[in-house]
Structure 1
Amino acid sequence: MCTITPVSVTVGANRIIPTIAIPYPLGNPNLHREEEVALRRKLVENALKALETEISEQTVFEF
């Protein structure tokens, strides 16, 4: 999970999941509490799906 996907691509990460922003990679303080919890849950679920997905080359996941 990363905020700057080109850096992850450059260093050779095999599974890349884009996140929100540099100061808040897994959240958005401008959202209401319930919305932010849902956003965080979705990001973590996406990361778990990426780990379950069989890949043969570097992959940027866009869920």
Structure 2
Amino acid sequence: MLMANLIPVAKSVGVNKMVPTISIPYPLGDPATPKEEQYKLRYHRVGVALDALTAEISEPTLFKTKI
């Protein structure tokens, strides 16, 4: 499982579970936003990643994020 900003690179190296992140320098947040918004964003992304870890898959899968 990989949380990554560059999903095409993750796919090309054979990652089986992928969760998209925000940006390269700040993968789980945006320092230009208020702390409350950052918390929601990070909480959501980590939750998606935890769900990805327990998900049964049969092929490489990109897990969608809502935020």
Within 2, Cα distance between the matches of 1:34 and 1:62?
Answer: 22
- Find runs of 4+ consecutive structure 1 residues off by over 6 angstroms: none
Structure 2 unmatched runs, 5+? none
Task: Provide the aligned C-alpha RMSD in A.
Answer: 0.7
Q: Provide the residue aligned with 2:14 in structure 1.
A: 12
The equivalent of 1:35 in structure 2 is 37
Q: How many aligned positions are there?
A: 63
For residue 7 of structure 1, report the CA deviation from its aligned partner.
0.4
Q: From the two aligned structures, give the one with the greater strand fraction.
A: 2
For normalisation by structure 2, the TM-score amounts to: 0.89
Q: Show CA shifts across 1:1-38 (max 9, x none).
A: 00000000000000000000111101111110111011
Normalised to the residue count of structure 1, the TM-score between the two structures is 0.94
- Counterpart among 51, 61, 64 of residue 62 in structure 1: 64
Q: Which runs of 5 or more structure 1 residues have no equivalent in the other structure?
A: none
Distance, in Å, in 2 between the alignment partners of 1:49 and 1:58 is 15
